[in-house]
Structure 1
Amino acid sequence: MYITRMNEAYAREIMQWKYEAPYEIYNLEGDEEELEELLHYFCVFKENELIGFFCTGGFAQIHSGHEVGVYPDMDKLVDIGLGIKPEWTGQGFGREFLSFILQHLQKQQRPKAFRLTVAGFNKRAIKLYKHLGFQAVTLFKANDMPFLIMIKLVGTDSE
């Protein structure tokens, strides 16, 4: 696998991805605002196929979470958001995909911890995150949907 910066062509490809129920909340509308945000992300390729993407920092946070204070500043913590191409989901590939991203970010940013936000219904992702050493720390609602904040201290579990 390898990582590149997002460009407009990759962003437009991602905006065409369609997830089946109940994951359709991850489908993008394809508007210019989404395009502009995606241009701050990174792409993950496997054998020259765009298989996923990730972002860090504020782009990885749910905006309304700030209103309820679920994103306290923590020294050397990296927020992560990610997505896998629909055809690659549910295939047991998530561990390799996320481990690769975590290792990359560990080398680049040397964080003390990683934090991610996941929709409460997404049991498949929550199971993966727990398997990789993330622990649930906070639950909050945004637009009547529960979200879970999970943190992984660097050096814990098995990446």
Structure 2
Amino acid sequence: MNIEFRKPIEKDSRDISTWKYEGIYSFYDNDKTEMKQQWASNIHKEDDIFAMYNENNELIGNCSFDYDEEDKKYMVGVQMRPSLTGKGMGTEVISSIIEFGKKTYRFGELYLLVAKFNERAIKIYRRLGFEVTEEFTWFVNGEEKEFYEMKKAW
């Protein structure tokens, strides 16, 4: 799969803001809280967020690269179109995101946060060489959830 990373446009934000996930993954719904809805509706105004398009020019997800000044580290965020999750594309998509990020930001290590219940994502991250560096509880999207911080270094 060839993924093209683009600066999101307003149409992308409108589409992404409607994304809803099934079952336990509804935690990631973009209308989960007012704050999350505002974020999703305005990603086209953010600097380090990218819309991901496949070879058929279809929006398949988005990703972000945030530099934490305090901890001096890059954090990646990932969101896939709900209809594409659980279809075996994760490893290829995450690999593409990592390669794009390395070329764009030239980082030597990358961090991410993932909810502990998201075993599908954790399996992919581990397969790609990420290791758990921290476990914590976070109040996010209106709920208290347990999370892992994971890191991959080159």
Same fold (TM over 0.5): yes
Q: Does 1:57 align with 2:53?
A: no
Q: Does 1:95 align with 2:101?
A: no
When residues 107 and 87 of structure 1 are mapped into structure 2, their CA distance, relative to the original with a 3 A threshold, is same
Q: Does 1:14 align with 2:16?
A: yes
Query: Take 2:136 and 2:86, find their aligned partners in 1: how far apart are those partners?
Result: 26
Q: CA RMSD in A?
A: 1.9
Count residues in correspondence.
141
**1:72, CA displacement in angstroms?**
5.9
Which among 33, 36, 45 is matched to residue 53 of structure 2?
A: 45
2:38 counterpart residue number: 32
Q: Does 1:73 align with 2:71?
A: yes
Query: Take 2:134 and 2:43, find their aligned partners in 1: how far apart are those partners?
Result: 26
**Local SS of the residue matching 1:57:** strand
**1:112, CA displacement in angstroms?**
1.0
Query: Take 1:72 and 1:139, find their aligned partners in 2: how far apart are those partners?
Result: 19
Query: Take 2:122 and 2:70, find their aligned partners in 1: how far apart are those partners?
Result: 21
Stretches of structure 2 lacking an aligned partner (at least 5 in a row): none
Runs of at least 4 residues off by over 4 Å: none
Query: Take 1:126 and 1:72, find their aligned partners in 2: how far apart are those partners?
Result: 26
**Structure-1-length-normalised TM-score:** 0.82
When residues 72 and 119 of structure 1 are mapped into structure 2, their CA distance, relative to the original with a 3 A threshold, is farther
Q: Which has the higher strand share?
A: 2
**1:148, CA displacement in angstroms?**
0.4
**Local SS of the residue matching 1:147:** strand
Query: Take 1:125 and 1:7, find their aligned partners in 2: how far apart are those partners?
Result: 27
Query: Take 1:39 and 1:118, find their aligned partners in 2: how far apart are those partners?
Result: 24
1:151 counterpart residue number: 151
